Amino acid sequence: MANTSSTYGLKPVRKIDGSPFINAQNRYRIAASESTAIFQGDAVQAAATGTIVRHTAANGERICGVFNGCFYTDPTTSKPTWSNYYAGGIAASDIIAFVVDDPSVVFKIDVDDDLNTTFIFQNFDVTNVTGSTTTGISKVQLDRSTNDIKTTQAVRVIDVSQDPDNEDQTASNVKALVVINNHFYGNKGAGI
- pLDDT band of residue 164 (cuts 50, 70, 90) is confident
Is the pTM of the predicted complex or chain greater than 0.75?
yes
Q: What is the mean pLDDT of residues 40-45?
A: 98
Secondary structure (H, E, C), 73-105: ECCCCCCEEEECCECCCCCCCCCEEEEECCCCE
Q: What are φ and ψ of residue 105, in 5° steps? A: -80, 135
Q: Residue 123: what pLDDT?
A: 94
User: Is it the case that residue 190 has pLDDT exceeding 70?
Assistant: no
- pLDDT band of residue 57 (cuts 50, 70, 90) is confident
For residue 181, how many C-alpha atoms fall within 13 Å in the half-sphere facing its CB?
A: 28
Buried/exposed code over 73-111 (b: 16+ C-beta within 10 A; e: otherwise): eeeeeeeebebbbbeeebebeebebbbbbbbebbbbbbb
pLDDT tens readout for residues 91-136:
999 999 999 999 999 999 999 998 988 999 999 999 999 999 999 9
Cβ 148 vs Cβ 191: under 8 Å: yes
pLDDT tens readout for residues 69-81:
999 999 999 999 9
Mean pLDDT of the chain: 92
- pLDDT band of residue 187 (cuts 50, 70, 90) is low
Q: Residue 189: what pLDDT?
A: 63
User: Is the alpha carbon torsion for 172, 174, 178, 180 positive or negative?
Assistant: positive
